[in-house]
Chain A
Amino acid sequence: MNSSLLDVRHASYSYPPDAWQLHDVSFELGAGQILGIIGPNGAGKSTLLKIAAGILPCAGAQIRLAGQDLHCLSRRRVAQTLGYLPQNVSSIFDYSVQQVVAMGRFAHLAGAGFLSPQDNGIIEECLEQTETAAYRHRPLSHLSGGERQRVLLASVLAQQPRLLLLDEPTTGLDLHHQVAFFSLLARLASQELAVAVVTHDLNLAGAYCDRLLLLSAGRRVTEGSVEAVIASDVLGPVYRESVHIGRHPLTDKPIVLPAPPGRSEHA
């Protein structure tokens, strides 16, 4: 794919002194696509995302961001194209929503980093887009989990990236907020943003992602369409047969249900 915004080749990593390793995983991502990175605990999803974002140094990996070698770009240049939302964000000081979102403009600002009217317009847009404008003056510590995740996403969107890498952004959110978050990702993708999202929620991944990359124990199992990956013969061995694949009554997309021990399709 020549038009890929992100091309990750041969991503490998090991966490010494543990034996756990990520083995030679590659993927690419184009504008307007949502890639779901799925797999059980310890599969290497977050590690892969961190390598792709240049957060975790990986000497052997070749990562091209909008056609350029990511390792040759400054962090500021990377942040102008790539937005990364980590799994856990904790602030030692209780900044307000508006301040956190404004921090997203850092890569575009020079000198002391004061905001121009144009920057303020972008921040306003991101607050509206993530439906966080109503509590812009509230400190982070006064927000619920769902509000907080949307604020952090707004901060990443304020970078005006062409590519979003999100690490389990809906963990801990209720069903309504999970659906709202993924709906927002779908809207962003329709505006030509590329999105890679690590998630444990296979049904949300199936409902909103264009493609899925399945990892297990640090290895790539498969990558393909939702229909190809959300299948009992693919997920069964990875999730130790504890899944049952059905069909969503409204969308007819494949859905995953937990299977009681000994009752799975493969058992």
Chain B
Amino acid sequence: MPEPLTRKRYMFFLLLYVGCALVVLGMAPLVGSESISLARIGADLRQPAENWTVDTQIFVYQRVPRVVLGLLVGGSLALVGAVLQVILRNALAAPYTLGITGGASVGAVLAIYVSAFAFQLGPFHSVQLFALAGAGAALVLIYAIARRPEGLAVNTLLLAGVTVHILCGAVILLISYLTSPHLLKAMNQWLMGGLAVVGYQQLASLLPLLLPGLGVLLLQMASLNHLSLGHEMALGHGVDVSAVQGRCFFGAALATAAVVSLAGPIGFVGLLTPHAVRRLSGLDHRLVLPGSFLAGGAFLVVCDTLARTLLAPTEMPVGVITATLGGPFFIYLLLKRS
């Protein structure tokens, strides 16, 4: 698509992505180890909740919030990946590149390690709170390292993020080495990521960090094309580069911390979804950002649905499905282009 983005083409692709996401969102809650009748749910929903059948209770209290969580987590990771690939000027950038996920993982693993002190604070479980604290600590550390009087030093930010991620990996290894086999299983489960733990309360606990994070990122979308041409060209075109970079860093950090604290690290979605969207609907980031959110969200919901049904009643780690499905699809896109 070599022409500049027109309003008509923007709306066409946006509606296409919205349509795909809606189809996935509509169908995914109906799929599972227990088959659910839509007619029965329809009849139940006209009655008080006490009279609902098991089908409707599974649908409303388990599958719908899980599917919504899948959309938010997958969408956020893909959106953050799309933004970071531009501001870090690196096609391999992903939400994990900032080191925030590493920090969150250390926090979560630490909380599981000292599980004797597990607690619940409003909608937050101690593991989620520790993960948020870990993400916050990583954010402060990386920001302090990469901060310069004229703005963020992008290369330093990238290297600091990767270094913090590696350091966090070492801390996790140490804690895993010291812990009991029983807790090790819980740690591994968290580190594999997944959407299994969910209810509306937990879903709501995401929003205070996630919504401002995503909002800030979406507001930068018109500037990101210019940053793709480099810092100086973007300044020349009239973009306040250091302000955009700073907002993107904090928006990405908030959104990543929110979703990782609840769903753990889920790989692949944030790295490759933005590239797939660019190949499908063009390089304009006014479309890449919302497109990545919708495509990433829909993709993770599909993967999660497969993860909970393929080996039912056992659940597979969703990361296995994201890589197995997404990898070949991305290779197909690369081959199609060349």
By the criterion CB–CB under 8 Å, are A98 and B3 in contact? yes
By the criterion CB–CB under 8 Å, are B286 and A113 in contact? yes
The winner among B2, B223, B241 for most chain A CB atoms within 10 A is B2
Chain B, 216-257, CB within 8 A of any chain A CB: 222-223, 225-226, 228-230, 232-233, 235-241
By the criterion CB–CB under 8 Å, are A98 and B89 in contact? no
Counting CB contacts under 8 A, is B91 at the interface?
yes
The winner among A57, A100, A103, A137 for most chain B CB atoms within 10 A is A103
The winner among B7, B226, B230, B237 for most chain A CB atoms within 10 A is B237
| C-alpha gap A80/B237 in the complex (Å) | 9
Are A53 and B2 also in contact (CB < 8 A) when A90-B230, A95-B283, A99-B284 are?
Answer: no
| C-alpha gap A54/B90 in the complex (Å) | 26
A80 contact set on B, CB distance < 8 A: 238
Are A103 and B232 also in contact (CB < 8 A) when A75-B239, A113-B222 are?
Answer: no
A112 contact set on B, CB distance < 8 A: 10, 222, 286
By the criterion CB–CB under 8 Å, are B5 and A114 in contact? yes
| C-alpha gap A78/B4 in the complex (Å) | 24
Chain A, 57-104, CB within 8 A of any chain B CB: 57, 74-80, 83-86, 88-100, 102-104
Name the one of A53, A91, A137 contacting B230, with C-beta atoms under 8 angstroms.
A91
Chain A residue with minimal CB distance to B4? Answer: A102
By the criterion CB–CB under 8 Å, are B230 and A89 in contact? yes
Counting CB contacts under 8 A, is A194 at the interface?
no
The winner among B226, B238, B284 for most chain A CB atoms within 10 A is B238
Counting CB contacts under 8 A, is B308 at the interface?
no
Q: List 14 A-B contacts (CB under 8 A).
A: A75-B240, A77-B238, A89-B233, A91-B230, A92-B86, A92-B228, A93-B228, A93-B278, A96-B2, A96-B3, A99-B3, A99-B4, A103-B237, A114-B5
Q: A: which residues have CB within 8 A of B?
A: 50, 53-55, 57, 74-80, 83-86, 88-100, 102-104, 106-107, 109, 112-115, 123, 136-139, 152, 155-156, 159
Q: B: which residues have CB within 8 A of A?
A: 2-7, 10, 85-86, 89-91, 149-150, 222-223, 225-226, 228-230, 232-233, 235-241, 278, 283-284, 286
| Apart from A85-B236, A86-B233, A97-B2: 20 A-B pairs, beta carbons within 8 A | A54-B235, A74-B238, A76-B238, A79-B237, A88-B230, A90-B229, A92-B85, A93-B228, A93-B283, A95-B228, A98-B2, A99-B4, A102-B4, A103-B229, A106-B239, A107-B238, A112-B222, A114-B6, A139-B2, A152-B233
